[in-house]
Structures are given as C-alpha cells and as structure tokens.
Structure 1
C-alpha cells in the first residue's frame, strides 16, 4: 500500500479540520460538502465523485472510500513542538501526481494560509495546480 508522510508546524486539530470539514477541504482541494456520511467532491472542469466516510476520530484519524474501491486513511500524530506528523495510506496503487499535489496544497493551506490552486477552469485537466 502506498504511504506518504508530511510534517506540519500546525497542530492536529488544524490538520484534522482541513481534512474533515467542507470548509477546510474547499480551501485547498475541492468544493466538497457532505451529507449523511458522504462527501460530494466537485472538481474543476465539472468532474464529481462521492466518498463514503469510513472513520472519523477527532484529531487522530480520518478515512474515506471513493472511486468505488480506493480508501485513503489519514493518521495524525502530534509532535513535541505542537506540530503534526501526517501519514496517508492508500488502499490501491499510487496516483502520484494527484496525491502529492493535494498533500502539498494541504500543507500550504494549513501551515501558511496559501491556496496553491490556479482557479482557472481553462487550466484544470492535466495541471497539478487545478
């Protein structure tokens, strides 16, 4: 199973909120409201998909399944300086460009308040910053 790790200067509650709330996800990933345990992702250029929330443990773990069979698990561990070590595990093969892009945008938003997306619908397909 592919695994990625990131370190945040921000605490687990800030990272968890960015992963687990519609407002958090919209700041670095996609418009993604949720109803009845399902996240409704709406990506640039009109692509949509739903994700079923499998587990949500405040400030510790967030897991969902999407695209029928792909589960992403986000484990958050506080460090001694008030930051967070995040480990992300995928149940299926790597989707390197997309996964890394989202994780780096997550870090930019949570730690620095910066949205790295280009916000240009004509530059969505094939662009890492869409």
Structure 2
C-alpha cells in the first residue's frame, strides 16, 4: 500500500514537471515567427510596451522587428521558472532593453507577456 502511494505521488510530480516544462521552456527555433499584440486597449502606465496594434517578428538569428520596438536583437535566458526574453533595440538615447517571460498560459501558442495583470501579450500566429 505504501509503495503504491509513493508511485502515485511520483507520477503526479513527474506530470507537473513535464507540464511546467512544456508551458514555460522554449528554444530559439520554436520561438521564431510572427507574434500579434493582444489585449492592448487599456490605460497603461508602462511606456516601454505597445498599447497599439503591433507585430513582433522573431528570427532564428536572434534578431527581431516590430513597429513599436524597431529592429533589434534578442537574448533568451533560462531559470527554474522558464524562459525569459530580452529585446535589445535602439532608441533616441542609445540602446534600450525590455525583458519579460514567455509562456503558453495553458494554450497552444507561445505568448510574450507584456502585462500579466491585464492579460496583455504578443501571441504567436
């Protein structure tokens, strides 16, 4: 009886680890593509994210384009919680960067989160 309980708890633990990994860890190849700005129509306080229609294009060579951010490069970073993306781009005073997380949020397509509380994100097409 004890052994069955240990096996059940182990299987549940493995399930949650695989579920977390699938929803939060991404390779450069899996992220390449077009992302559409979603849920941006609200009064925002952050000036570094777009509150307008925008398309973010991530390329396999670590470059990106966006009408809001312009042209730039991105870096992927990994920790126990998942994948983070840092967008590095030029602006009027030099270089700027914006770092955020990437997740599936229980969906199918990866999402670059811009404001989690407002459900504002770029979603892959």
Asked which structure has the greater CA Rg, the reply is: 2
TM class by shorter chain equals 0.3 to 0.5
Which structure: greater helix fraction? 1
Q: Normalising by the residue count of structure 1, what TM-score does the alignment of the two structures yield?
A: 0.35
